[in-house]
């Protein structure tokens, strides 16, 4: 059942089917440490924002939503959404294609979904971050779109920390089967309130908030 106050997307059933498939595929790859409860704000739009180290982040995102019967509009790189088998799958779950050239359309779509009561998810770093670009808090530089979307919609921005996903599916590689499955953890933090009208400063402040949650995963 969808949490009261949050609306399923028009792609809800396809989303849940895909999430169940992701969980089946993930079982031989990783040991998942996910929250037993998922409590999100229900008195305003909800924008989830996480760190991004691996394409396995997407699978974990689908799994956690599906376990709690929730669908989300996920903002994903346009080249992945618009071509090939991955594109058909992502279009089927309502992914929002985003790129430098489609930024405004993507942000408009995200705001419209939030105002309908749907959950929107994004990775503010905008790409897979190599280890060399990670700060001491385990996150990389982020883009101001997070703040633009949140301020236009009045959304609560909820941090989502991923840990260990890059051990399963390393950047630039393929998923790896190991005799000892890596531990993969996901944690949600307290909603972050934007306090200013400088979108880059707001986003940087959020990333520090997210970084503290990422560090807590070890």
What pLDDT tens digit does each residue of the chain (218 aa) get? 556 678 999 999 999 999 999 999 999 999 999 999 988 998 899 999 999 999 999 999 999 999 999 999 999 999 999 988 889 999 999 999 999 999 999 999 999 999 999 999 999 999 998 888 898 989 999 999 999 999 999 999 999 999 999 999 999 889 988 989 999 999 999 999 998 999 999 999 999 999 999 999 97
Which helix (H) or strand (E) segment is 104 a member of? helix 103-115
The reply to whether 3 falls in a domain is: no
Q: What CATH number does the domain containing 106 carry? A: 3.40.1130.10
pTM of this prediction?
A: 0.94
Number of Cβ within a 10 Å radius of residue 160: 22
Domain hosting residue 186, numbered range: 12-35+42-216
The reply to whether 138 falls in a domain is: yes
Structurally, the chain folds into a number of domains equal to 1
The reply to whether 129 falls in a domain is: yes
Question: Is the Cα dihedral 128, 130, 136, 140 positive or negative?
Answer: negative
Rounded to whole angstroms, how far apart are CA atoms 66 and 63? 5
Rounded to whole angstroms, how far apart are CA atoms 9 and 56? 23
Structure tokens given for 151? 């301020």
The reply to whether 2 falls in a domain is: no
Report pLDDT for 2.
56
Residues 176/209, Cβ–Cβ less than 8 Å: no
The reply to whether 1 falls in a domain is: no
The reply to whether 118 falls in a domain is: yes
CB-based contacts of 1: which residues, under 8 Å, 6+ apart?
69
Report pLDDT for 75.
98
The reply to whether 187 falls in a domain is: yes
Report pLDDT for 121.
98
Which helix (H) or strand (E) segment is 202 a member of? helix 199-216
Structure tokens given for 24? 């089946």
CB-based contacts of 131: which residues, under 8 Å, 6+ apart?
none
The reply to whether 7 falls in a domain is: no
């Amino acid at each position: 059942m969808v949490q009261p106050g949050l609306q399923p997307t028009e792609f809800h059933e396809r989303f849940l089917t895909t999430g169940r498939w992701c969980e089946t595929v993930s079982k031989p790859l990783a040991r998942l440490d996910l929250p037993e409860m998922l409590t999100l704000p229900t008195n305003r739009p909800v924008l989830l924002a996480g760190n991004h180290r691996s394409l396995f982040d997407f699978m974990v995102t689908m799994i956690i939503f599906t376990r709690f019967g929730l669908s989300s509009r996920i903002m994903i790189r346009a080249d992945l959404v618009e071509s090939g088998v991955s594109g058909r799958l992502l279009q089927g779950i309502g992914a929002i294609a985003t790129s430098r050239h489609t930024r405004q359309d993507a942000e408009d779509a995200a705001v419209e979904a939030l105002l309908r009561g749907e959950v929107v998810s994004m990775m503010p770093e905008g790409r897979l971050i190599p280890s060399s670009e990670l700060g001491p808090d385990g996150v990389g530089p982020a883009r101001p779109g997070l703040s633009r979307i949140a301020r236009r919609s009045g959304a609560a921005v909820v941090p989502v920390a991923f840990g260990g996903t890059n051990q399963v599916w390393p950047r630039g590689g393929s998923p790896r089967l190991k005799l000892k499955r890596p531990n993969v953890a996901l944690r949600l933090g307290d909603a972050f309130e934007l306090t200013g009208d400088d979108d880059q400063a707001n986003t940087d402040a959020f990333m520090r908030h997210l970084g503290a949650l990422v560090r807590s995963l070890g």
